Chain A
Amino acid sequence: MVLRLIRWFRGYVNFILIGKSPERFINLCSLNGINLWNTKPTSQGLKSCISIFDYKSIRKIAKKSKSRLKIKSKRGLPFFIIKYKGRAGLGIGAVLFICLMFFLSSFVWSVNIIGAENISEQYILKTLAENGLSVGTYKGGMNVQKIQRDMIIAIPEIGWMSINIQDSSANVEIKEKASVPEMNDETDPCNLVAKSDGVITDFEITNGKVEILRGSAVSEGQLLVNSVVEDQMGGVKFTHANGRVYADVIATKTFSMSMKTKVLTPTDNRTKRYSLNFFNFNIPISVSNSGYNISVKQNNSFRIVSEKNTLPFGINEETEIEYEIKDVDLTEEQAKTALLKEMALYEIFCKNESKVKERGFTGGIAESRYTMHVNYVFNENIAQKQKMYISN
């Protein structure tokens, strides 16, 4: 294959020898160090191939062996160049294409993150860029080992990472560190006490002596589960009391908001700007000054995607939207609806471990504010650990 390629690059002639003594021709060629290949005998003589540099010298040999030479075909790069001599653009284009291909393949085109579960990919990409690996980085000057080390130091949640440069893609494989479970020191003796007033509805005790009954009322700080346990022999043992005590707890929460409020609302004024993205460079296509006092910018990036990889070319669209501050006078109904939403958020986020058994609210306007008082009955775990200090 290589030999055929070399012959094609040097150029060769496919010729027919017509004569009575082809043997003499072959012998003379071999004695003169002329290389012939694909030599096949024919009825009139033989056909063979020869390099274009040797073809001139075999004319004399053919004359000596009383034979005639006839060119059948001319093959190879020199003949190809002669054929397309008038079309220099083709050659220049081909050379430019090869140069551009070599140039572009020496940069990182895409960075793929594999194995990130809890760490944000955007955060990893940003940290990688700070450490010298991003789309458009020159592959030759990259120290992969150093980037790996720096990344593990920069993001402590990464346990192991490997950067594999495949063609023009950088595949970053990450293994996150397994979080160390919190160690509960359950050897010290402790009691369970009530953290709020309530009526006991249920309890699940795993350790300690239960000091309460279902339906009994407890006050804040009251002993629920005792750590001092007596055995059958009358001995005393100090344990680490553990368990859950559920009680109905009455609670009141007040929500309030002003009837006059300021609201940010978008206007119809929008300004769009486009830029051409090439690797990490942004070339602006359109420039326009908006002059908005308050505005929000939205960025959309349109990229060319080839199979798995995103190519580093595309168009960025930036939309600037004007906002204005409006003074709004809320009605009683609007204020109530807003506070009901706030109440729902309070129940979801602040009392997520409690169950709402009853809920009643009253509201009214006072001093240009709408105030809502909500009376809750929560069913929640009121057990709280209290350490015991034993002195000898």
Chain B
Amino acid sequence: MNRKKDTNRLNSIKNKIPPQFMSGLPHLEFLGNRQITIEGSRGILKYSDNVIRINAGSMVISFSGRNMNVKCIAPDCTMVEGFVTKIEFTV
């Protein structure tokens, strides 16, 4: 009885969230070419002054540019800062 109630509640929460967030793909937000927020990241694969490569589950996103650095990092979110000149998706 309780399990049925919990399932109903989870379904109702899922219905309120937009479908693009439920697809398992990373959510990227750009502030020009200076700051990028990656939601759904799993970790950093390469970290240097010119290239930052991030594991985003189903793909690897590579940011190339100048003065690149990770401003903030959490288990499922990364914020990259710097002068980005190129973005590459490896699927």
Which residues of A are in contact with B by a Cβ distance under 8 Å? 22-23, 26-27, 29-31, 33, 36-37, 39-41, 46
Contacts and interface: CB of A to CB of B under 8 A. Distances in A.
Given A39-B69, A41-B69, A33 B75 contact: yes
Given A30-B75, A31-B75, A33-B75, A40 B43 contact: no
A36 B73 CA distance: 7
Contacts of B72: 37
Contact of A46 (B46, B47, B74): B47
Interface string B36-54: 0000000111111100000
Most buried by B among A26, A31, A39, A41: A41
A41 B49 contact: yes
A65 to B, nearest CB: 12
A266 to B, nearest CB: 83
Given A39-B69, A40-B69, A41-B69, A27 B49 contact: no
Question: Closest 4 CB pairs between A and B?
Answer: A27-B43, A23-B44, A30-B73, A23-B47
B73 A22 contact: no
Contact of A41 (B47, B71, B75, B78): B47
Contacts of B73: 26, 29-30, 36, 39
B60 interface: no
B70 A39 contact: yes
Contacts of A30: 43, 73-75, 78
A22 B47 CA distance: 7
13 contacts: A22-B47, A23-B43, A23-B47, A27-B44, A30-B74, A36-B73, A37-B71, A37-B72, A39-B71, A39-B73, A41-B47, A41-B48, A41-B69
B34 to A, nearest CB: 16
A116 to B, nearest CB: 59
Nearest to A42: B49
